[in-house]
Amino acid sequence: MKHWRYFLPLAVFVAFVGVAAWQLTRPRDDFVHSAMIGKEVPSFDLPTAVGDRPALSTANLKDGKPKLLNIWASWCIPCAAEAPQLARLQEAGATIVGVAIRDRPEDVAAFLDRYGNPYARIGRDDLSKVQLSIGSSGVPETFVVDGNGVIRYQHIGDVRPEDVQLLLSKLEEAKR
Amino acid sequence: MIAELGLAALWLAAALAVLQLVFGTIFTLKSAEKAEFSQIVRPAAAMQGVLCALSFLILTWLFARTDLSVKLVAMNSHSMKPMIFKIAGTWGNHEGSMLLWVTVMAMAGALIALIERRLPERTMMATLAAQAFVGLGFYAFLLFSSNPFERLDPPALEGMGLNPLLQDIGLAFHPPTLYFGYVGLSVAFSFAVGALLTRQVTPDFARAMRPWVLGAWIFLTVGITAGSYWAYYELGWGGWWFWDPVENASLMPWLAATALLHSVSVLAARDALRAWTIMLGVVAFSMSMVGTFLVRSGILTSVHAFAVDPERGSFLLALLAIYIGGALLVFAMRAGSVTEGERFSLVSREGALVVNNVMLSAILGVVLLGTLYPLLTEAFDVRVSVGPPYFNPVSAIFALPMLLVMAVGPLLRWRHDSAKRIRPELILIAVLGLVTLAGVVAFAGIAVLPTLGIALAVVVIVASVMPLRGRKLRLLPLATWGMVIAHLGIGVSLLGMASETAFTQEKLAAVKVGDTTQVGPWTVKLDRIDPVAGPNWTALEGVLEASYRGGKPVTIDPQSRNFWSPPQETNESALITRWNGQLYAVLGREAGEGRWQLRLWWKPLVTLIWIGGMMVALGGALALIGRVYTDLRRRRVMRKAVERRSEASA
């Protein structure tokens, strides 16, 4: 081929179309996931967010049993939407601990009265310190933490009915 | 009924495009026996332009009346919106803007069909067939996946409104201007493909193509300049270029068109650079399409956030593969048989233009790579974002030498020249550059790039008027004036960019009513905070009294606006423009204890960026007028000669 260089632009373009087509077929993932996945939860010790539930500290997460760590707030509307799913997870045997972000005890109590209380423990994180330290950027988010306090999985956004099974299987995986 | 009329016009236009493609192709293949076929192609192209224009006017009418039985209107407009934004809203959404694209393309096709008489008929028909072929893809895209006239049953009670950021006079003009540019390049693309198919790459071809490239390039220049200023004052971030994918999508065709503009001149004047010019003709419009694809498919994330739809992305990618792939394939097969044309020595006008072309292409490559890089790394699950730390220095590596050559090039003669002949000018330029450089280093102590930028700007500004020396200014062709002003504009713009980068002062303060704060030479007092209301928003307005070096205070009022349909908060910045720069003020939230957040910038010489950009466009316009005028005169002279000859024979 004498004029092979004239084919160069075409070759570059074909490569571009290839990459673009491959990108288009991939499902979009617009979430920025936590850099803490696979790492131990940084240590914290939160006071209780509401009178009748125990407080939450790192020690509670390291009792050998995998848990769901739910980051939520009473002022957050998707948090209300995910309440039935959290209840189902609890019924299915999951232990859920909550961290209430920038909240007031009376609002937390009212929210739990209205939407039910799936939490074994609820910590109160007034300045989002714990939230930021585990790499959560909003409410609600749900983390799967194994028995040694290591973050195994992060679910961003509210837990929808179709997510329940996935979270349960992640909990099961975390036992190993 | 009106919406259906618009849709019908669009279908008819598409049918005419099929006709134009078929008959144009047959003529190109068998021009000897099917000579009458060319009689159909031109009217088909002209009628397409009329039908598309009608369709677009109908959509504009639906938006102006806020016809809520049309889905697109209901989704993007609102009855409370001011009329100018209702109309501008026609192209402020995906479907409407694609209709604008198709309309501009059809009207460009109509124009070449009606006025272009210089090219051989076969090349002309091949060009129109190519134009119809490209047009068809976009008709299909509109009709099958983005129908702007789709009905909503039952009609909506109220529209959902338009993004408040887009409710600005800038929107009324910025996208259409860019579209004229993008789509204008489709003509250059069709010309290139047509000439490749008939193997007639001649100076006449270059002269036929040049006004189209120039016209598209002027629109792109104006569009980019205006877009940059719009982002600057509307977003309230104080920046004028963010290397955002959408900005790059407009910059890449501009770079290619700039290169094309210069190489087409070489082809027209000297019959050289044939294959290269054809290649750029293909690349320029390809960059418009690639840019559109990147932006609309959503595979790159951008602040511009167009309506994103993977299905549309696939459609656009298929169109891209067919058109760009097809054109590049034709290029690969045919370019070898297009001889390179005349030779020239390196030190010559052509030599300088080749260097300029290579550098522009290199910058284009740099921008393209930076824009696509996140896409490439994502293939290996690495997420990166490419920003100014890459784009600025890497493009500067090529831009700085290119600007130096741009300063010297116009002083050289065509074909062959020697550096000796222009030695006094070269020495003057070198001395001027070095003195400025030394001055900036000694007195300003700023970063490397702005320092080089200022020195180079001075060089470019002085050198670009040098071609005027020793010439009778009244007799100078308009096209030469155009070149001088455009090059001068580049220098002016560069000075503004370097100055803004190096000398901007910023102040973020929490101010009580009655307090003052300082930024650069300005003293700014927060006089009061007023609530104000507009047609579809309410706002808090900070009334500021700003005085420059203790002079007479000027009142400005930045606003923090709340739109209610859709609900969104925007910052309306306020500006004071002086000859030597701009004060830029943004009002933030209340910071507690009666304090208000104020963000102030003093940006010396910042306005030169856009003044320079507009000078570049003005230069292009002068060149275009000059070229078209000369053409018309030549045509008249030729017609007279023919008449005289026929009279003589009669």
Which residue stretches of B116-202 are H helix?
Answer: 121-140, 169-198
Question: Which member of A2, A6, A16 has the closest CB to residue B331?
Answer: A6
Task: Specify if A115 maps to a domain.
Answer: yes
- Give mean pLDDT, residues B345-369: 91
Local confidence band at B443 (pLDDT 50, 70, 90 cut-offs): confident
Classify residue A156: in a domain, yes or no: yes
Ranked by mean pLDDT, the top range of B42-56, B345-359, B522-536 is B42-56
Closest residue in B to A29 (Cα–Cα): B299
Closest CA to B352 of B290, B405, B297, B394: B405
In angstroms, the CA B285 to CA B212 distance is 12
Rounded mean pLDDT of chain B? 87
Residues of A in contact with B290 (CB under 8 A): 16
pLDDT at A141 over 50: yes
C-alpha distances out from residue B289 to B179, B286, B426, Å: 11, 5, 41
Q: Which residues pair with A153 in a beta bridge?
A: A144
Q: How far apart are alpha carbons B167 and A121 in whole angstroms?
A: 49
CATH number at residue A100: 3.40.30.10
Query: For chain A, how many structural domains are there in total?
Result: 1
DSSP annotation string for chain A: -TTGGGGHHHHHHHHHHHHHHHHHHSPP------TTTTSBPPP-EEPBSSTTS--EEHHHHTSSS-EEEEEE-TT-HHHHHTHHHHHHHHHTT--EEEEEES--HHHHHHHHHHH---EEEEEEETTSHHHHHTT--SSSEEEEE-TTSBEEEEEES---GGGHHHHHHHHHHHH-
Name which of A1, A5, A14, A24 to mutate to probe chain B: the one with the most chain B Cβ atoms within 10 A of its Cβ.
A24
Nearest to B546 by CA among B575, B525, B572, B530: B525
- Of B147, B141, B144, B149, the residue nearest B59 (C-alpha): B149
The answer to whether the CB of A171 falls within 8 A of the CB of A94 is: yes
Q: Confidence class of residue B162 from pLDDT cuts 50, 70 and 90?
A: low
pLDDT of residue A1: 44
Q: Quick one: DSSP state of residue B272?
A: B
Apex A20 CA angle, A14 and A26, nearest 5:
140
pLDDT at B115 over 90: no
Exposure class string for A69-95: b at 16+ Cβ within 10 A, else e:
bbbbbbebeebbebbebbebbbeeebb
Contact at CB, A17 and B325, closer than 8 angstroms: yes
Q: Is residue A153 a part of any domain in this protein? A: yes
* Angstroms from A8 CA to nearest CA on chain B: 8
Does the beta-carbon distance from B329 to A10 stay under 8 Å?
yes
> Do A77 and A114 touch, CB atoms closer than 8 A?
no
Residue A31 domain flag: no
Distance CA B372, CA B287 (A): 13
Which range is least confidently modeled, A124-138, B231-245, B464-478? B231-245
Residues of chain B in Cβ contact (below 8 Å) with chain A: 275, 279, 282-283, 286, 290, 293, 297-299, 301, 310, 313-314, 317, 320-321, 324-325, 328-329, 331-333, 335-336, 372, 375-376, 378-379
Interface contact B372-A13, CB threshold 8 A:
no
- Highest average pLDDT, of B326-335, B486-495, B501-510, B556-565, comes from B486-495
Task: Judge whether residue A49 has pLDDT over 90.
Answer: no
Task: Considering only the beta carbons, identify the residue of B282, B313, B372 that sits closest to A24.
Answer: B313
- Residues B308-330 as b or e (16 or more Cβ within 10 Å = b): bbbebbbbbbebbbebbbbbbeb
Q: Highest mean pLDDT: which of A74-83, B101-110, B224-233, B371-380?
A: B101-110
Question: Does A21 reach chain B within 8 Å, measured CB to CB?
Answer: yes
The answer to which of A128-137, B287-296, B299-308 has the lowest mean pLDDT is: B299-308
Q: Quote the strand ranges of B373-456, DSSP E.
A: none
CA distance B111 to B105: 10
* pLDDT tens, position by position, B188-206: 999 999 999 888 888 888 9
pLDDT at B533 over 70: yes
Chain B residue closest to A9 (CA)? B328
Using an 8 Å Cβ cutoff, are B52 and B8 in contact? no
Per the structure, the complete domain to which residue A92 belongs is given by 45-175
Nearest CA in chain A to B319: A17
Compute the half-sphere exposure of residue B63: CA atoms within 13 Å on the CB side of its CA. Answer: 28
- Cis peptide bond upstream of B175, omega within 30: no
Query: In whole angstroms, what separates CA B544 from the centre of its chain?
Result: 36
Q: Token pair of B267, please? A: 């082809």
**Strand, helix or coil at B279?**
helix
Which DSSP string corresponds to B446-497?
A: --HHHHHHHHHHHHHHHHHHGGGTTS-GGGS-HHHHHHHHHHHHHHHHHHHH
Contact B155, B71 (CB under 8 A): no
> Does any domain span residue A167?
yes
Please, are residues A137 and A32 in contact by the beta-carbon 8 Å criterion? Answer: yes
Answer whether residue A9 is part of any domain.
no
Contact B290 A16 (CB under 8 A): yes
pLDDT exceeding 90 applies to what percent of chain B? 44
- Residue B302: its pLDDT value, please? 54
A59 within a domain of the structure (yes/no): yes
> How far apart (Å, rounded) are the C-alpha atoms in residues B46 and B106?
8
Q: Is the pLDDT of residue B165 over 70?
A: no
B292, B344 contact by CB (below 8 A): no
**Among B315, B316, B319, B324, the residue to mutate for chain A (most A Cβ within 10 A):** B324
Distances (CA, A) of B149 to B7, B96, B101, B146: 6, 9, 16, 9
What is the structure's pLDDT at B32? Answer: 67
Most confident of A55-64, B4-13, B238-247, B574-583: B4-13
| CA end-to-end span of chain B | 58
ipTM score: 0.79
Q: How close A12 gets to chain B, by Cα (Å)?
A: 10
pLDDT tens sequence across B73-112: 888 888 877 888 888 888 888 889 899 999 999 999 999 9
Q: b/e per residue, B533-570, with b = 16+ CB within 10 A?
A: eeebbebbbbbbebbbeeeeeeebbbbbbebebeeeeb
For B581, the 3-state DSSP assignment is strand
**What average pLDDT does range A146-159 have in this prediction?**
89
Identify whether A96 is part of a domain. Answer: yes
What is the pLDDT confidence band of residue B420, given thresholds at 50, 70 and 90? confident
What whole-number distance in Å separates Cα of residue B470 and Cα of residue B87? 51
